[in-house]
């Protein structure tokens, strides 16, 4: 299964790398633990803590996407994935362990990530974040400065005007 999923992720991502291998292995664990091979809607949710190569595997293999609302980016910069099954309320978090100095490199590293013992590749813990609420439709509000529309949750009130995040000038006194 790992080779088939790896090829699918590489085709989506565009090149072979260790990051895509980590994403594939995370997806394999999500399939095994949560019993969902592909999320047609929002049954499976991933909160990714990075915006690196492995996230492309999550999109290609599990069907979690930002547009569908079941891929959420929370930028800690860590190679960590929080997976949730909305139907069973099961969840878990994977965080990649640092590469060992002198450890496998190149294709040997990719093979190790795809087939090696999970406990040598990831630490498995409880999720750190509550299950995000399902996606919902939001009203579009027009910015009174630039005239562009944005969801109501992304607008701010400034000097009595409703403004978008780009036009909003934060009040900052130097710290």
Helical spans, DSSP H, in the chain:
2-13, 18-34, 54-57, 106-115, 118-121
Is residue 80 over pLDDT 80?
yes
Is residue 172 over pLDDT 90?
no
Which region, left, alpha or beta, applies to residue 144 given φ > 0 means left and ψ of -120 to 50 means alpha?
Answer: alpha
Residue 169 to residue 172: CA distance in whole angstroms: 9
Q: Where are the beta strands (DSSP E) in the chain?
A: 44-48, 71-73, 80-85, 90-96, 122-125, 140-142, 149-151, 155-158, 161-164
Is residue 175 over pLDDT 70?
no
Residue 100's Cβ-side half-sphere holds a number of Cα atoms within 13 Å equal to 9
Residue 51 to residue 95: CA distance in whole angstroms: 14
Which of these, 139, 137, 37, 26, lies nearest to 92 by C-alpha position?
A: 26
Across the range 130-139, mean pLDDT stands at 90
**What is this structure's pTM?**
0.86
Across the range 154-161, mean pLDDT stands at 96
Residue 82 to residue 125: CA distance in whole angstroms: 9
CA 166 to chain centre: 24
CA 20 to chain centre: 13
Across the range 75-87, mean pLDDT stands at 96
């Amino acid at each position: 299964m790992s080779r088939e999923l790896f090829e699918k992720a590489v085709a989506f991502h565009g090149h072979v790398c260790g990051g895509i291998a980590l994403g594939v292995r995370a997806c394999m664990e999500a399939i095994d633990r949560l019993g969902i091979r592909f999320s047609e809607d929002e049954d499976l949710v991933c909160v990714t803590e990075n915006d690196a190569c492995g996230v492309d595997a999550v999109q290609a293999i599990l069907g979690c996407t930002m547009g569908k609302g079941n891929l959420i980016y929370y930028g800690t910069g860590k190679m960590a994935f929080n997976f949730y099954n909305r139907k069973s309320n099961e969840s878990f978090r994977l965080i990649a362990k640092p590469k060992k100095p002198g450890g496998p490199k190149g294709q040997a590293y990719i093979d190790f990530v795809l087939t090696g013992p999970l406990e040598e590749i990831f630490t498995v813990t409880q999720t750190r974040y509550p299950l995000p609420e399902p996606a919902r439709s939001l009203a579009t509000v027009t910015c009174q400065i630039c005239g562009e529309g944005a969801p109501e949750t992304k607008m701010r009130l400034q000097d009595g005007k409703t403004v978008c995040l780009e036009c909003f000038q934060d009040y900052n006194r130097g710290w």
